[in-house]
Amino acid sequence: MKAPLLATTLALGLALGRASELSYPQGHPWAPARRGDLRGPCPMMNTLANHGYLQRDGRNITRENAVKALADGLNFNPTLANIMFDQAIIANPEPNATYFTLDHLNQHNVLEHDASLSRADAYFGNNHIFNQTVFDETRQYWVAPILNASMLANSKVARMISSKAFNPTYTFTLITEEFSLGEVVAPVIAFGDTDAVIVNRTLVEYFFENERLPTSLGWKRRDEIVSLNTILKATSAIRNATSLFTDSDASLSKRKLTANLH
């Protein structure tokens, strides 16, 4: 009986091992941040650190580190990854810095900003730890299993209104808007269809709540390389969907002309 039992045990172990391998990218098992590890306000950067694409301690992230992490984890091309590094390095207060830490990104109104989809405003305390209450407010506008540009835009606009209404120090500049649009579209870029600008809601919720790639839900890194043009096209769809006007440009111009004639 021992031999069959041993064979069964080994088979079970191998099966569990294979199942475990499917739950995270090869060579990049997920682990939560440890005491002393640094994390920031960006769920995706935190996720890449939790999987070891970036340094797990969140420190001393160089251009080379960032470009490789974004390529290996999300299939971003080098041009796009370099642009993202150039934006992040600004948060390091040291002159001529060649690295940043995830903690640097927590500095308010540099890259981090009010009206986040998943973080509280700095005025209310911690601006970089996932906030379930804020996220629940966000996802109440995600009203179908597949999120589209309209739902994502609605959650963004709603968070801005909520922040403006209750945060006496609310700040949201035109530059902030560009960062915000990029953040809102990020789950589509990572987990969804960038042409249709849609994404599975379950994948997005899992990602936000766990800061973990949703491989256990069937996701895998996209085969197509993500370029700056990919981001710009998807972001444009979100930008257009944030408009609260229903007139087309043509009909609006016609109505203005008619009013002026009278």
- Residue range 89-120, pLDDT digits in tens: 999 999 999 999 999 999 999 999 999 999 99
141, 151 in Cβ contact below 8 A?
A: yes
pLDDT of residue 86: 97
Structural contact between residues 139 and 155, judged by C-beta atoms closer than 8 angstroms = yes
Q: Residue 172 has which token pair?
A: 């949201």
For range 174-183, the mean pLDDT: 96
- DSSP calls for 1-23: -HHHHHHHHHHHHHHHHHHHHHT
- Return the structure tokens found at 160: 């801005």
Q: Which range has the worst mean pLDDT, 16-30, 61-75, 129-143, 241-255?
A: 16-30
Q: Which residues contact 113 (CB under 8 A, 6 or more apart)?
A: 171, 172, 176, 179, 180
216-223 average pLDDT score: 95
Contacts of residue 203, defined as CB under 8 A and 6 or more positions apart, other chains included, come to 187, 191, 192, 214, 217, 219
Domains of the chain: 35-248 (1.10.489.10)
Per the prediction, the chain carries an average pLDDT of 89
Confidence of residue 149 (pLDDT cuts 50, 70, 90): very high
Q: Are 175 and 87 in contact (CB under 8 A)?
A: no
Query: ∠ CA 205-65-185 to the nearest 5 degrees?
Result: 30
- Residue by residue, DSSP assigns 182-247 as HHHHHHHHHHSBTTTTEEEHHHHHHHHHHTS--GGGT----SSPB-HHHHHHHHHHHHHHT-----
What mean pLDDT is predicted for residues 71-93? 97
Inform me whether the pLDDT recorded for 23 exceeds 90. Answer: no
